[in-house]
Amino acid sequence: MAEAVKEKILAVATITCTIDGQQITVPKGTSVFYAARQIGIVIPAFCNHDKLKPVGACRMCYVEIEKMPKLQVSCATTATDGMVVSTNSQQVREGRKAVIEFTLINHPLDCPTCDKGGECDLQDLTFSHGYDDSRFGFNKMRFIEEEKRDTFDDLKIGPEIVLNRNRCILCYKCVRANKEAFGEYDIGAFERGDLTEINATPGGEVSNPFSGNLVEICPVGALTNSDWRYKIRVWLTKTVPSICNFSGSGTNITFYKEDHKNFVYRVTARCNDAIDDGWLSDITRYGYQIVNSESRLKTPLIKKGGKQVKASWDQALAVIKKHMGEIKDQSGGVCIGGLISPSLDNASLYSFSKLFRTIFKSNNIDFRGDYRYLPSVTDSPFTIAASQPFSIADIEKSDVIITFGTDLIREHHNEYLKIRRAVNFFEATAYSVNPYAVKTADIAKSEMVYSPGTDELVINGICLAAIEKKLVDSSAAAKLKPKISKLSLSELTKQTGLGKEQFKELAEAISSAKKITFIVGEIVARSLERDKICAALSNLNKLFGVQDKGQLAVLSRYANSKGAQKLGLSATPYEIVKAELKKIWGEYPDCQPRNTDSMINLMKKEEIKGFITVGTNPMRLYPDRGFASEGLEHVDFLVACDMFETETTELADVVLPLCSWAEYDGDYINLEGKVQTGKQAIKPKYEAKAAFEIMELIASQSGVKLFENEQSRNEEIEQLLSLNSVLPWPDDFLEIDYDKKSSRDDYPVPLFICDDPHHSGHLTEKSPSLLNFSDSAYVELSKGMAAKIGVADGEPVRVESPVGKIVVPAKISRVLNSDVAIIPRNFSSTQTTSLLMRKKRVDSVKLTRVEE
C-alpha cells in the first residue's frame, strides 16, 4: 500500500501537460501548481505550503484549464495528460484581483507598524496582482483585545507567540502544520465566516516544541514572536547560512545579523529537503540567543588567591604554560587529560586532538562527557552500532520504521518530524519500543513499553519470536538460537513486560518490511550495558538482514558527534583512524587510552593533574555528579573554555572565553556523515576565541605550531574524513549473557535524566525565549504515579536516590503511562545528575510528597 502511494508521489509514471504554451512532463499526481513551478512559472499563493497537504482555502492560485468553465485552484488540482493550462489569462488575472480584494477588505493595512513588513506575502502579492484602490466602503471588522494599552490588538497565545487576529488571512497554515507535521493541537480555528479566528486552544497556550515554525510560515504579520518583533526591520539585516548547533541532524538555518551592532537577530529555516524539510525545533530557532547573551564570558579569568579575576589572554596563556609545563616536566604528559564538546567544529576537535597527542603526548581525551562508564576498547558492539551509515531522507522512503530506546522529541527533533511525515504522508508503519511511553507513539501502529533495563532481552525476544514463527532463514536461526535461548520466550515476556504477541508483531514487521529504518537512541547509548544491547542488535541485524533492506544505527546526538568519531576524538579511536593519525603526525602517544570515566578516576588518584575542558560541562552533564566533582576538585590545574560561567568553570584555575558557532566558519558532520559548513555571522563577541585558535595558542606556549596554516590543517582533516569509518559488524552471532535484574525495593521508581523538549545540553538555559517555555527542573510523572505518591501537578516532590536528593515540582505527563520518573538535566538550578550512579544500569529513585 505504502509503495503504491510512494509511486504516485516519487515518480515512475508521468503525464504531459501544457502550461502557458509550454509542454511539461511531470510525475503522475503532481499538482498543476508544482508542474508550473518546474518550468519556472510561479503561481501566486497564500495557503499552499510545500510540506503540507493542499486545502484550497485562499483561492489565490487560480488557473484556467481548457474544457473547465470555472477557474481552478492549481494547488489542489492534479495535472493530467493533455491538460492545457493558462496561468495568466484575463480571467485568471481578474480572479486573483478579486481574491486580493476580498482578502484586503478586513485586513488592517497597518503595514508601517507590522513586523512582517518587507517580507509579507500579502504585501508582495497585492503589489503584483491586486488593485490600487478599494471599493470597500465600510468599517473593517476588528478584533479588539481587552488590554487597552495594546495599540496593535496583540494577543499573547504562547510563551513566544503573539497573535494579531486582524491581520490573519486565514490560510490555516499554522493549524495545518501543527497537526500534519508536528502532531500538535495547541492552535486552532474558531468561530465561523468572517468572524473566524485563529487562537490557542481554550485554556491552553501554543507552546509545542515546534511552535516557532508557525510564526515563520505565517504569510502575514498575524503570528509574530517576541524574539524578533519590533527589534529591527528585515531589510536592515543580512543573512548568513549556517547549521544548527544543538542537534545531530545538522538542520540548515539562516542567521539574520546586523553588522554595526554585531548582533544576530533571528534564525529561520533554510529548507533542505534531504535533512529538515524546512522545519526547525524551537531549540534550533531560539537557541541562537545564547550568542547575544549579556552573561557571556567576556575575558579570560585566572585564579588568584582562590578567586577568579579578569586577565588578558597573554596572562592566562602564561599561567597555562607555567602549570601545564610543570606537570608535563615533572609527571609527564600522560598526567594531562581533556574533554571536548562534540558540538564543536572539525577544526576545533582536530586541533584539540593534535594538541594532546603531539604536544602533551597524552592520549587522555574524550568527547562523550555525558555518557557513563565507557570501557576503553576500540571496536565494541556499541562503537560499531554507532558507526553505521544512516540517511535521514531514507526515513520517509521506508515502509516500516522502528524506534528503539529513544525518546525522539527530546533527542532528535528532526527525525521525530521525519517519521511523522513518513507515516502521515507516505503511509509508513511505525513502531515505538521504549522503556517508557513516548510522544512518537501517537503515530505508531503499536507502542511497546518494556521494563527499564531489559533492552537486550527485548531484542532477543524479537529474534526468538522470528525463529519460532519461521520468519527468518533457518540456518541462521539454528546458529543464533543456542546463543540467546538461555531464556525462553515466555521467560523473556516475564522479564521485559512485553507479550509474546508483541514480540511476534515486531518480528513480522521487520521481516515483512520492504525498506526499513531502525533507529536506536540515547536510552541505549547512555546505558551501562550499551555493548550488550548492541551485541543483541548485531544479532538482530544479521538474523533479519535489516541493513540489506534499510538502515539500523545508533544515531549520534550532537552537532558534530560524527565528526568527533571520525576524527578520533576519544582515547580509543577506530584503528584505521589511529593508523592514519600516526601516518600524518609521524607519532602517536603510546600510553593507555583513558576515556572520560577512567580519566575522572585517575583525577581522584591524582594521576591526572592537569585537565582541559572545552565547551563542555562535566559537572552538570556527567551522569554521576558526585563522582565528577570529586575528580575535578582533585585536579591540580584545571583549564575550562566555555561561552558561559558553568559549574565546571567555577572550579577552574584558568577560564577562557569561547566563541559561539556563529562567530567563525566551521564544518560539522551530521548524524548521516554529511559535512556541512556553518558560516560566520558576526565577529567574536568580547574577547572570545574559537577553540581551534585557543589550541593553537596553547601549543605556541611550547614554541610549537600545530599547523603551518589553515590549509594544511584542513588537508589533514580531509585525509581523516576520507577514511571509511563504518565498522563492520562481527561475523558471527554473539552470545548474550543474562544477569538477573536486581531488585530495587528501596528505590522503586526508574529514573531517566534527559533533555527537556525545549532544551539541549547545558547551554540553552541562556536563551531567554527557551526559558519562557521551560525554566527549571521538574519531575515528569504519569497520572498514576502522581496519584500513588499523592501529588498534583506543580506540587513539590522529593526525589531521592542512594546518592542524592533533590526537590522539584511534579509535572503530570500526558504521555507517560507507567511508573517512571523523568527529570531534565538542562537547568543549573537543580543538580539532577547528583541522583545518578555511573555504574548503575537503571537509576532508580524514591519519590515522596513534600509536606508543606
Partner 1 sequence: MTFYSPVVTNAKEIAGHEKLHLFEYVEDEKQYQLKRYLEHGGYAAWKTVLGKMKPEEVIEEVKKSGLRGRGGAGFPTGMKWSFVPKDSPKVRYLLCNADESEPGTCKDRVLMERDPHVVIEGMAIGAYAIGCHLMFCYIRGEFHHSIERIEKAMEEAYSKGHLGKNIYGSGYDLEMIVHTGAGAYMCGEETGLINSIEGEKGMARIRPPFPAIEGLWECPTIVNNVESLAAVPHIINRGADWYRSMGTEKSAGTKLFSLSGHINRPGNYEVELGFSLQKLIYDANYGNGISDGKKLKAVIPGGVSTPFLTPDKVDVPLDYESLTEAGSMLGSGGVIVLHEDTCIVWTILKLIKFFRHESCGKCTPCREGTGWLEQIIQKIEDGRGGPDDLEKLDSICGNILGRTICPLGDAAVMPIQSTLKHWRDEWQYHIEHKKCLVNQNFGF
Which partner from the list partner 1, ligand FES, ligand SF4, none does 128 bind, CB cut-off 5 to 8 Å by kind?
none
Three-class SS of residue 197?
A: strand
Burial 256-272 (b: 16+ CB within 10 A, else e): bbbeeeebbbbbbbbeb
When CB distances are held under 5 to 8 angstroms depending on the partner's kind, the choice from ligand SF4, partner 1, ligand FES, none that residue 101 binds is: partner 1
The nearer residue to ligand SF4, 197 or 765, going by C-beta atoms, is: 197
218 binds ligand SF4 (CB under 6 A): yes
With CB under 6 A as the contact rule, which of the stretches 213-221, 266-274, 361-369, 697-705 interacts with ligand SF4?
A: 213-221
- Does residue 72 contact residue 19 with C-beta atoms inside 8 Å? no
Which one of ligand FES, partner 1, ligand SF4, none is in contact with 69 (Cβ closer than 5 to 8 A by kind)? partner 1
User: Rounded to the nearest 5°, which phi and psi values hold at 45?
Assistant: -155, 150
Q: How many residues bind ligand SF4 (CB under 6 A)?
A: 13
Sign of CA dihedral 438, 838, 756, 272: negative
User: What, of ligand FES, partner 1, ligand SF4, none, does residue 95 touch, CB below 5 to 8 Å by kind?
Assistant: partner 1
Residue 48 partner contact from ligand SF4, ligand FES, partner 1, none using kind-dependent CB cut-offs of 5 to 8 Å? ligand FES
Beta strands in 103-160 (DSSP E): 155-156
- Residue 497 sits at the vertex; the CA angle it makes with 494 and 502, to the nearest 5 degrees, is 105
Strand pairing class (223-225; 654-657) = unpaired
Q: Which stretch binds ligand SF4 (CB under 6 A): 220-228, 394-402, 490-498, 767-775?
A: 220-228
Among partner 1, ligand SF4, ligand FES, none, the one that 409 touches (CB under a kind-dependent 5 to 8 A) is none
Using CB under 6 A, pick the residue from 36, 43, 169, 533 that binds ligand SF4.
169
Q: Which is nearer to partner 1, 107 or 713 (CB)?
A: 107
Q: Of the candidates 41, 171, 409, 537, which one interacts with ligand SF4 according to CB under 6 A?
A: 171
| CA distance linking residue 762 with residue 617, whole number of Å | 7
* Residue closer to ligand SF4 (CB basis): 62 or 692: 62
| Closer to ligand FES by Cβ: residue 57 or 320 | 57
Give the one entry of partner 1, ligand SF4, ligand FES, none that residue 78 binds, where binding means its C-beta sits below a cut-off of 5 to 8 angstroms depending on kind.
partner 1
Closest contact distance (angstroms) between CB of 99 and ligand FES is: 9
Report the distance separating Cα 120 and Cα 111, nearest Å.
Answer: 9
Edge-to-edge, what's the strand order for the sheet holding 263-269? Answer: 238-243, 252-258, 263-269
| Cell 572539525 found at | 346
Q: Quick check: 107 binds ligand SF4 (CB under 6 A)?
A: no
3-class DSSP state for residue 781?
Answer: strand
User: What are the residues facing 16 on neighbouring strands?
Assistant: 25
Rounded to whole angstroms, how far apart are CA atoms 517 and 416? Answer: 13
Query: Hey, which residues between 221 and 240 contact ligand SF4 (CB under 6 A)?
Result: 222-223
* Residue 168 contact partner, candidates partner 1, ligand SF4, ligand FES, none, CB within 5 to 8 A by sort of partner: ligand SF4
Q: Which is nearer to ligand SF4, 219 or 673 (CB)?
A: 219
Task: Decide whether 61 or 533 has the Cβ nearer to partner 1.
Answer: 61
Q: Which of residues 364-423 bind ligand FES (CB under 6 A)?
A: none
Nearest to ligand FES of 59, 354 (CB atom) = 59
Q: Give the shortest CB-191-to-ligand FES separation in angstroms.
A: 21
* Nearest distance from C-beta of residue 754 to partner 1, angstroms: 32
Residue 394 carries which side chain, given as an amino acid letter?
D
Q: Which residues bind partner 1 (CB under 8 A)?
A: 1, 54-60, 62, 69-71, 73, 76, 78, 95, 98-99, 101-103, 105-106, 135-136, 138, 141, 169-170, 172, 188-196
Shortest separation between residue 106's beta carbon and partner 1, angstroms: 6
Residue 198 touches which of partner 1, ligand FES, ligand SF4, none (Cβ within 5-8 Å per kind): ligand SF4
User: Which one of 62, 172, 350, 518 is in contact with ligand SF4 (CB under 6 A)?
Assistant: 172
CB count in 10 Å sphere of residue 151: 10
One symbol per residue from 26 to 65: x for binding ligand FES (CB under 6 A), - otherwise; what is it? -------------------xxxx-------xxxxxx----
3-class DSSP state of 269: strand
Closest by alpha carbon to 443, among 411, 402, 406?
Answer: 402
Binds ligand SF4 (CB under 6 A): choice among 220, 302, 543, 681: 220
At 366, list the grid cell.
574524550
Distance CA 190, CA 198 (A): 6
Residue 61, contacted partner among partner 1, ligand FES, ligand SF4, none, CB below 5-8 A by kind: ligand FES
153: left (phi over 0), alpha (psi -120 to 50) or beta: left
Q: Which of 63, 170, 643, 749 binds ligand SF4 (CB under 6 A)?
A: 170
Contact 436, 408 (CB under 8 A): no
Q: How far is CA 594 from CA 362, 570, 586, 597, in A?
A: 9, 8, 21, 8
| In the complex, minimum distance from the CB of residue 547 to ligand SF4, in angstroms, rounded to a whole number | 41
Window 184 to 203, contacts with ligand SF4 (CB under 6 A): 198
Binding string to ligand SF4 for residues 294 to 333, with x set by CB under 6 A, is what? ----------------------------------------
Sole binder of ligand SF4 in the list 27, 44, 158, 219 (CB under 6 A): 219
Q: With contact defined as beta carbons under 8 Å apart, do 352 and 695 qualify?
A: yes
- The DSSP symbol for 832 reads G
Compute the least distance from the CB of residue 212 to ligand SF4, in Å: 13
Supply the minimum distance, in Å, between the C-beta of residue 63 and ligand SF4. 19
CB under 5 to 8 A by kind: which of partner 1, ligand SF4, ligand FES, none does 45 bind? ligand FES
Site for ligand SF4 in 378-417 (CB under 6 A): none
Q: How far is the CB of 364 from ligand SF4 (least distance, A)?
A: 53
- Neighbouring-strand partners of residue 86: 64
The one of ligand SF4, partner 1, ligand FES, none whose footprint includes residue 641, by CB under 5 to 8 A per kind, is: none
Q: Please tell me the distance from the alpha carbon of residue 322 to that of residue 336, in angstroms, as a whole number.
A: 14
Q: List the x/- string, 67-106, binding to ligand FES by CB under 6 A.
A: ------x-x-------------------------------
Q: How far is the CB of 136 from partner 1 (least distance, A)?
A: 7
Polymer length in residues for the chain = 852
Helical pair 489-496 and 455-468, crossing angle rounded to 10 deg = 150
* Among 359, 445, 444, 374, residue whose Cα is nearest residue 408: 444
Min dist. Cβ of residue 424 to ligand SF4 (A): 19
Q: How far is CA 685 from CA 290, 298, 564, 659, 688, in A?
A: 11, 8, 26, 7, 6
CB-side exposure of 380: number of CA atoms within 13 Å?
A: 16
- Between the alpha carbon of residue 376 and those of residues 530, 536, 614, 621, 678, the distances in Å are 13, 20, 21, 20, 32
Q: Considering only the stretches 171-179, 313-321, 367-375, 542-550, report the one whose residues sit in contact with ligand SF4 under the rule CB under 6 A.
A: 171-179
Contact 755, 761 (CB under 8 A): yes
Burial classification of residue 362, based on how many CB atoms lie within 10 Å of its CB (0-12 exposed, 13-18 middle, 19 or more buried): buried
Distances in Å between the Cα of 737 and the Cα atoms of 48, 484, 486 are 55, 8, 8
Contact between 169 and ligand FES by CB under 6 A: the answer reads no
- Which residues contribute to the site for ligand SF4 (CB under 6 A)? 168-174, 198, 218-220, 222-223
- Which residues contribute to the site for ligand FES (CB under 6 A)? 45-48, 56-61, 73, 75
